[in-house]
Structure 1
């Protein structure tokens, strides 16, 4: 298989360079058009985001629990490429990473200031409880189901069916040879563009929080100039990492991520309000499961409230726009896992870690706000990315933990961006699992350019807007992707049952032939029973 660039590479690059040029020359007009597109998308398709994302979750659970769960993503008996700790670490770092650090304190505190759907008065214990519940919901099973669906579809066709690791290949069961033509190219181009916008959103969020952290630690100003400078510095690091192989690049940075994140988590849990954290987590998990169906499908047609669009739909759209990248990356590192093992690892373990993270960091912030007059809520209201650093000031060694959090954010940004360059290289090199380093560097530069334009065009609001708009067409494709995957699994099961029945039939026929041959065979004198000594003598003579 050649990994030379083809039509997907050139057309995708042209579209994204055109976007960068328009955004750089006319940032205000870009922001205006994006805002109008956002309004159209949420007004007409907001309900679809809710139904489809919930459907993806049910689909993944059903496949994992079904008879298909034993199917291995690779040859029968093949061992996993990566051990469990490294595998889970790369999944978590690529799938959540900097977003979890950004929103770990910011989201519960924002909901505390502005309770979801106006269900309770702001800045009350009830608002705190509601904020924790919705934080777990937004970073819970629905979000990871988006990644799991794409990852499972790609891993199955790549390692089970030995097809290229392209998004379009996931549709071969339903589209046949049409995926080799213009239609397949269109699917892959859409995946590339959606991936770049989704990762640029996360890259921008990380840069905003790094800027906020530098302001807290080193009194550096907050603004677009500083953010572009930070973006350039971080870009240099992850572009250098892009030149390294996956096994010695992303994996080691991911391992460092997880170790540092675990150390900070343990530090806050032990030295923070431990009893409050455990109680808050227990309460939030109970409320999450008790209200999951209602939260999954709630809308506000009678009040005109836009909270669902600004939060839940944004999160689902963000996850959908990330799905080609995260799903393909998870597929790449999941060779040798069974489908059931894959679903549990991609949906179960990261959600559990997210729950612990929000309970520890968000719960600590709420404790200090409610019982220590910390005024973190006001800080978040003024600058949403400052909440984590403000919370750490109420714990010992804040002069050390602040810089460590900055390092953690930088490492998460590097992991996400580096993983994305790898996946984009796959998409635009005919699905090869080893894209050329220079191809990965090129896509890293494109990500940086798009993130820079979005930061100039409106910061966080522009980042959120582009995620929602870019996710819509790919969400439609994912519906057909699920149908194609199910068709492939059913076909494999039918083939397995056919071969099993054929083998059983052959064995039964062989047994019948043996019994017939045995019954019709002439008696063997040597096998006849010897009853008298005379018979024995006659036999031997």
Structure 2
């Protein structure tokens, strides 16, 4: 194939430098969705809900198989002979120090789910256990509620990020290919990635990413609005949430213009710092010993029931809960994975495959489990003791649960303000890093583009969130993310296979080169020995 057909072409459209076959269809799909949702806002929730049911019932098994396969595949790569391969080559050095690297990948990957669902999820599953009889011992119901929280926010989700992040990092830095989703499919598709097949892959990735970002933004602004209402008495309404979206998008725009090494890095470290302060306050003001004891017990229970939790689908009973909750989370993780994976790849040059996987797969999950043990564990303890205030809060408005939880502690006003800062910081980080990634994909993998291109994508995620909120609120957002994540989950399975093929090919090539080099070295040493021997013989003569 000729050179011109093995490169991603760039086009000038309205002053933007983009890959036209990806940019134009993506914009058409997104604006069609926005317009239809605005015109048929009353029907949006109904139609998306029906489509979500079809996806869940017909394709739920795809999610279940995929997320479990990713864990097995990641662990195999980490502890196989391929684990020592370094991203970027043998001499590559990390661009970011360990703490900054972890802060950026954790902040990009976790979003505001850490603070939103650590209270709401265990309350929901304690009051209405998905698979235990309500008359079961409350402590057993509480433990299962935490187990499911670990399932939905732990290793499975980070396995999805690990697959795409490693694949993109490997093909970008080791194969010197563009930092776009299509590059990870080169061992399977070959030069076809530069044709319509590659364009289609990138389009699916961008659409899934923007819907995932919009879902996070929609959940986040609702929680910020709830916090402002609790602290300052400001009403909870769509108008206030629109204003919050505009403000967050504005700050994200400033950050995205400054780039990865400034704005994104600063906000990521702010996330970690704020979360640490908030966690320590809960730890010190709350039941400290109970939290630490619960952490190890929760991990033990989660690992003991790991296979059961990971494969349960409610097939022998009403599986509505599984379809609406577990599959929604898998769709959310999958829809976030294009931008989180691309962002993690961007900052992970110089790490070995083993170091990358164990850090991305295990460390964020371990931190998340500690957070959930503090927030969820303390919540469950209160429910078992008969304190139902959080049940009323979750039933009334899921976004208020965190702030009602803070009212149980001294310095509650400080906790509420820190909570709002953390939510804002997480959302802004997600929006700006997401805009950077979407811009990179739609521009054909260009590392640097005009600032206003990134501004457009940061703004568009806010517009989608506002539109979906108008068209039905959180239920519409959940439906949209479940639907958009499924096709990309399938692509991720193919991507994992492609990554394995690519790594194995390169490993064999490197082994052959090493063997040839070793043989040449041996021959040279043998030649030197013969020359040395001849010199000595001539000397004695």
TM-score band (shorter)? over 0.9
1:306 maps to what in 2? 320
Cα pair distance change 1:509/1:368, threshold 3 Å = same
- 1:404 matched to 2:418: yes
- 1:422 matched to 2:436: yes
Q: 1:163-182 CA deviation, whole Å, 9 max, x = no partner?
A: 11010011111111100011
Normalised by the length of structure 2, the TM-score is: 0.94
2:50 maps to what in 1? 36
Cα pair distance change 1:170/1:282, threshold 3 Å = same
CA drift at 1:49: 0.6
- 1:47 matched to 2:61: yes
Residue 216 of structure 1 aligns to a residue whose secondary structure is helix
Structure exhibiting the larger radius of gyration computed from Cα positions: 1
Give the aligned CA root-mean-square deviation in angstroms.
Answer: 1.8
CA drift at 1:372: 6.8
Aligned partner (choices 432, 457, 477) of residue 443 of structure 1: 457
- 1:13 matched to 2:27: yes
- Counterparts of 2:386 and 2:491 in 1: how far apart (Å)? 49
Residue 303 of structure 1 aligns to a residue whose secondary structure is coil
Aligned residues of 1:215 and 1:222 also touching (Cα < 8 A): yes
Gap runs ≥5 in structure 1? 529-541
CA drift at 1:374: 5.4
- Counterparts of 1:375 and 1:345 in 2: how far apart (Å)? 38
- 1:148 matched to 2:162: yes
2:371 maps to what in 1? 357
2:121 maps to what in 1? 107
- 1:379 matched to 2:393: yes
Aligned residues of 1:212 and 1:385 also touching (Cα < 8 A): yes
- 1:506 matched to 2:520: yes
- Counterparts of 1:465 and 1:272 in 2: how far apart (Å)? 36
Q: 1:20-59 CA deviation, whole Å, 9 max, x = no partner?
A: 1111111122222211211111111111111111001111
Gap runs ≥5 in structure 2? 1-7, 11-15
- 1:433 matched to 2:428: no
Residue 116 of structure 1 aligns to a residue whose secondary structure is coil
CA drift at 1:514: 4.8
Cα pair distance change 1:238/1:516, threshold 3 Å = closer
Q: 1:193-223 CA deviation, whole Å, 9 max, x = no partner?
A: 0100011111111011111111211122223
- 1:172 matched to 2:186: yes
CA drift at 1:518: 6.3
Normalised by the length of structure 1, the TM-score is: 0.94
- Counterparts of 2:260 and 2:480 in 1: how far apart (Å)? 29
1:467 maps to what in 2? 481
Cα pair distance change 1:279/1:336, threshold 3 Å = same
Runs of 4+ in 1 over 6 A off after TM superposition: 518-522
CA drift at 1:314: 1.2
- Counterparts of 1:511 and 1:84 in 2: how far apart (Å)? 41
- Counterparts of 2:32 and 2:227 in 1: how far apart (Å)? 33
- Counterparts of 1:301 and 1:498 in 2: how far apart (Å)? 50
- Counterparts of 1:97 and 1:6 in 2: how far apart (Å)? 29
Cα pair distance change 1:346/1:517, threshold 3 Å = same
Aligned partner (choices 527, 533, 537) of residue 540 of structure 2: 527
Aligned residues of 1:199 and 1:447 also touching (Cα < 8 A): yes
Aligned residue-pair number: 527
Q: Which moves more between the two structures, 87-96 or 126-135?
A: 126-135
